[in-house]
Amino acid sequence: MRRCRVVRMEQLYRLIGSDMAAVDAVIRQRLHSEVVLVRQVAEYIVQSGGKRLRPALVLLSAGAMAYRGAHHHELAAVVEFIHTATLLHDDVVDGSDLRRGRETANAMFGNSASVLVGDFLYSRAFQMMVTVNDMRIMRVLSDATNVIAEGEVLQLMNCHDAGIDEDGYLQVIRYKTAKLFEAAAQLGAIIGGGAAVVEQGMATYGLHLGTAFQLIDDVLDYSGAELETGKHLGDDLAEGKPTLPLIFVLRNGNPEQAACVRRAIQTGGRDDFPEVLAAIRETGALDYARQKAQVEAELAEAALDVVPASQYKDSLLELCLFAVARNY
């Protein structure tokens, strides 16, 4: 994998700036509802920032196929709506009150409104994807949505379970996070008429990129700055989520460190956070998780070998660097 300068999102998006503006216009148009509360909640969460990484994947993968139509704007917005719906539901399930440096929608409008508007965004996404009139695209997106829902339930089942191993953890993030990355990258290849081997390469790229991205998210929960991540440090621990840094300590820490982490997972909360953080640092758990993310990013990069050279492919490769090197 190429070693790197720091990669910023603004640099990556320069190539697709006009396309991203077109996607934002589609999002604003498609958010319209006669129901005032739907508009308020949906606009609050969609306009609250975020990396827009998943819609960018649709645009970049379509660009790498030299696609010249307009369906990629609609599909990028579909992917963003699906992602936003999962955030609305996630924050209710997790009881979160901070995302992207702002109060969560459930903190602002209540749990019921957040769940119902999440449902609205899911259904609006399906209305939009129908307009593309391509059953393969429908299949990719409907399958992805189903797998994401399974991942949400798997994560819920795993909360407060200190017996989850690394394979079980990776299954959750591949379902819950990486699946939408996979779908986003694959969509561009489909509408761009890519050969089957290229389409599979794009899908594999998205899967590994999304896995790397989530691994670093879990690292940042114990090492990031709240101002940059937009989330409270230690949120995963407070919710009893057995993420990779904790699993590593359970497997490699001394008996006292392992017992501390096990107790923290089982009880949740932040009371044990200083001791858990010390154990994570002393065992090298964050370095291990970063190394796993690096491996996933290298697999993503290798998957693009079948994609023709272009500026769009270069940006997809740069995303592999960003996924691992980022601090937000």
Domain-wise residue ranges, the chain: 9-325
Region 266-284 average pLDDT = 93
On the question of pLDDT at 7 being above 60, the answer is no
Q: Which two tokens stand for residue 220?
A: 């940042």
Q: What is the DSSP letter of 307?
A: S
pLDDT of residue 14: 85
Class of domain 9-325: mainly alpha
Which run of H or of E encompasses 67? Answer: none
78 within 8 A of 128, measured Cβ to Cβ: yes
Q: Determine which of 24-38, 146-160, 224-238, 253-267 has the lowest per-residue pLDDT on average.
A: 224-238
pLDDT more than 70, % of the chain:
92
Which residues are CB-neighbours of 75 under 8 A, at least 6 positions away?
58, 129, 132, 137, 187, 191
259 phi, psi to nearest 5 deg:
-65, -40
- Express each pLDDT in 64-102 by its tens digit: 999 999 899 999 999 999 999 998 888 888 777 766 567
Q: What is the pLDDT of residues 8-50, one digit of tens each?
A: 667 778 899 999 999 999 998 998 889 988 888 887 877 776 7
What residue type is 281 in one-letter code? R
pTM for the model: 0.92
